[in-house]
């Protein structure tokens, strides 16, 4: 049971969370960057990675940056996360991450050394090399951005825009972790795992892709588990209702967390996905074998609204048709 859980308070805390609200500029930006007449671009905006066709292969291309406030709080963790989030973008689509390049801007050498030490640690742990990039050695600010390339068979790609009404929603999170000491909204399990363990965890997504066991997926990112599901539903033009009590969570009291705090956290190693109901048990089993907790938490529907329920009370979190999170009006026109 979730103690003192109110669907209204959860919905409000997610809607107003900065990890969600800062996504609103994506749709406006896409209006300036529309892609036209590019037959090899299979998917682009709205997905965790762009999909570029190369014969029978899909080349996956993604990029991500780290909030400056995390750089200031813990440069090692910022460097580690810069690699982590990019690897997850490729893994969420079922791909194998191949290599990364970086763009680094620094105000001082000490911070640079800590950030790159974190990058190197994650690169070695996940087995994805950093092979080049660009350095700004004299900027008045410190920023780290990484881009990553992956690959996989074109027919096996898992998109976030292909969830269907009637699909089961599954959340998978590694709960064997801690609240990161430098960031109260980061759950850290990855640094506490061996290289073999984290590679097995992201490898589950490759098996799901190969066996076509899921219909859509995203890695759980800064908007948290509910916000990330909202982004998946927005690109799929669907809605959903989820049960709050079903969301995987650690012992919240032991970690000094409220439920509202937990569902806004970046979980370190976590994926949200949809699947046909007959595949739910197998999807959960594969994640459990890799040391993660996976649970069905709800159903996809045609409502264009994401709602949360607890003990018979249901509240809408997002009306994805009228407002959305990323506010991508029509993804079908973007490729």
pLDDT in tens, 39-64: 888 887 889 999 999 999 999 999 99
Looking at residue 71, its pLDDT comes to 82
Q: pLDDT, tens digit, for every residue of 281-303?
A: 999 999 999 999 999 999 999 99
For the chain, the average pLDDT equals 90
pLDDT band for position 279 (50/70/90)? very high
Q: How many CA atoms lie within 13 A of 144 on its CB side?
A: 30
Q: Which sequence spans correspond to the domains of the chain?
A: 7-24+159-331, 48-155
Distance, in Å, from the CA atom of 16 to the CA atom of 21, rounded to the nearest integer, reads 7
Global pTM value:
0.91
Q: pLDDT, tens digit, for every residue of 157-206?
A: 999 999 999 999 999 999 999 999 999 999 999 999 999 999 999 999 99
Axis crossing angle, helix 195-210 with helix 109-126, rounded to the nearest 10: 60
| CATH T-level assignment (fold) for domain 48-155 | 60s Ribosomal Protein L30; Chain: A; (3.30.1330)
Distance, in Å, from the CA atom of 52 to the CA atom of 38, rounded to the nearest integer, reads 10
If residue 217 lies in a helix (H) or strand (E), which one and from where to where? strand 216-219
In this structure, the strands spanning 143-153 and 57-65 are antiparallel
7-24+159-331 shares its CATH topology with 48-155? no
Hey, how many other C-beta atoms are within 10 angstroms of the C-beta on 111?
A: 18
Please tell me the CATH code under which domain 7-24+159-331 is placed: 3.90.650.10
């Amino acid at each position: 049971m979730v103690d003192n859980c109110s669907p209204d308070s959860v919905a409000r805390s997610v809607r107003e969370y900065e990890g969600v609200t800062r996504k609103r500029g994506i749709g406006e930006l896409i209006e300036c960057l529309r892609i036209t007449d590019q037959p090899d671009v299979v998917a682009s905006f709205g997905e965790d990675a762009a999909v570029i066709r190369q014969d029978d292969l899909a080349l996956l291309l993604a990029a991500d940056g780290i909030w400056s406030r995390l750089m200031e709080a813990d440069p090692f963790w910022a460097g580690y996360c810069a690699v982590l989030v990019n690897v997850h973008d490729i893994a969420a689509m079922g791909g194998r991450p191949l290599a990364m390049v970086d763009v680094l801007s620094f105000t001082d050498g000490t911070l640079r050394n800590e950030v790159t030490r974190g990058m190197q640690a994650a690169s070695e742990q996940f087995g994805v090399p950093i092979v080049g990039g660009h350095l700004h050695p004299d900027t008045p600010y410190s920023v780290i951005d990484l881009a990553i390339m992956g690959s996989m068979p074109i027919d096996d790609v898992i998109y976030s825009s292909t969830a269907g009404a009637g699909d089961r929603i599954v959340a998978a999170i590694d709960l064997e972790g801690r609240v990161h000491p430098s960031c109260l909204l980061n759950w850290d399990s990855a640094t506490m795992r061996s290289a073999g363990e984290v590679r097995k965890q992201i490898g589950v997504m490759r098996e799901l892709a190969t066996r076509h066991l899921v219909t859509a997926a995203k890695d759980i990112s800064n908007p948290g588990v509910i916000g990330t599901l909202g982004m998946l539903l927005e690109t799929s033009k669907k809605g959903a209702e989820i049960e709050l009590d079903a969301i995987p969570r650690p012992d919240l009291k032991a970690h000094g967390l409220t439920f509202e705090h937990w569902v806004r956290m970046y979980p370190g190693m976590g994926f949200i996905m949809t699947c046909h109901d007959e595949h739910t048990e197998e999807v959960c089993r594969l994640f459990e074998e890799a040391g993660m907790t996976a649970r069905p938490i709800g159903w996809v529907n045609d409502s264009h609204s994401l709602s949360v329920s607890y003990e018979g009370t249901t509240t809408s979190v997002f009306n994805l048709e009228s407002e959305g999170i990323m506010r991508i009006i029509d993804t079908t026109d973007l490729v």
